[in-house]
Amino acid sequence: MTSTISRLALAAFAISASILSAQPAFAAVACGSGNFDAWLAELKTDAAAKGISQQAIATGLAGVTLDPSVLNRDRSQKVFSQTFEEFSGRMVPPRLQRGSDKMKQYGSVLSRIEQAYGVPGEVLVAIWGLETDYGVNTGKFATIRSLATLAYDCRRSELFRAELMDALRIVQRGDLAPAEMKGAWAGELGQTQFMPSSWMKYAVDFDGNGKRDLLHNAPDVLASTANYLAGYGWQKGKDWQPGSPNFEVLKQWNKSEVYSKTIAYFAAQLARAP
């Protein structure tokens, strides 16, 4: 739901220098060339050259076609314009009681996560609620099809090509089967909406069942979100309100000042909840 706002709509053209410099090994078929099938065939060759297994390539890209609805959504994005008062007033009150219930339900898990990563449970539950209503609304778009569509499109081809490669690596690693990979239209996956690159870097198997499952497994979801924040410099035991170093970490989760302030406000409300 809000993940598209958080990681893509607000930074549509903020492609990292590393991605810009990483030109594909095989680029004879250009983005938007009018021949998606030829482009996809060359992408498969490039994926193999990058060390992705033939099985992951074959299963992950089988039957993939262009999705015009994804292109339409990408082109119709509107800049986030709500004030903090408007956004937080709409998003927090209907999620507060359930968030408090989740704090109780996962109290011991959240305590262990805070010990491991330093991130308080209130912050994680606030993000969880804002992103997908605690896992209720994770999205229904086929992730690999969405990423292939956006990689073929010329607006941000290199960004999404890199994400598509990481989606195939998720398949190769055995975290998810391609059919399970459904999420937001721009490729975010899971109950706190990780892009595939973040999944590969920060997803953890917190309950020790042998899988990093951010779609169905709440302990993995919450711990992986904490690992993400810790990776960006979260300071254990410190405040997370605007002006603090930890608030700057929240802005790495979400570039929007309004959205980040809403996370901080929601987390503070959860901390005070009975």
Query: pTM for the complete prediction?
Result: 0.88
- Do 259 and 142 share a domain, yes or no? no
- Do 157 and 255 share a domain, yes or no? no
- Do 154 and 258 share a domain, yes or no? no
Query: How far are the Cα atoms of 55, 90, 100 from residue 274, in angstroms, in the given order?
Result: 51, 22, 8
Counting the structural domains of the chain, the total is 2
Query: How far are the Cα atoms of 68, 84, 88, 247, 255 from residue 81, in angstroms, in the given order?
Result: 26, 9, 13, 20, 13
Residues 6+ apart with CB under 8 A from 95: 129, 130, 133, 134, 266
**19: in domain:** no
Query: How far are the Cα atoms of 86, 99, 118, 165 from residue 270, in angstroms, in the given order?
Result: 19, 7, 17, 38
Are 142 and 186 a contacting pair, CB within 8 Å? no
Q: What is the pLDDT of residues 202-257, one digit of tens each?
A: 999 999 999 999 999 999 999 999 999 999 999 999 999 999 999 999 999 988 99
Q: Which of 151, 181, 211 is where one domain is finished?
A: 181
- Do 194 and 130 share a domain, yes or no? yes
Query: How far are the Cα atoms of 40, 55, 176, 270 from residue 62, in angstroms, in the given order?
Result: 10, 10, 15, 44
Span 147-159, average pLDDT: 95
Q: What is the pLDDT of residues 79-113, one digit of tens each?
A: 678 899 999 999 999 999 999 999 999 999 999 99
- Do 214 and 262 share a domain, yes or no? yes
CATH of the domain at 224: 1.10.530.10
Least confident of 30-34, 228-232, 268-272: 30-34
Q: Which of 216, 254, 14 is nearest to 130 (CA)?
A: 254
* Residues forming the active site: 131
Residue 22 pLDDT more than 70?
no
- Do 123 and 111 share a domain, yes or no? yes
- Please tell me the distance from the alpha carbon of residue 85 to that of residue 99, in angstroms, as a whole number: 20
- Do 148 and 249 share a domain, yes or no? no
Name the residue range of residue 228's domain: 82-136+187-270
**194: in domain:** yes
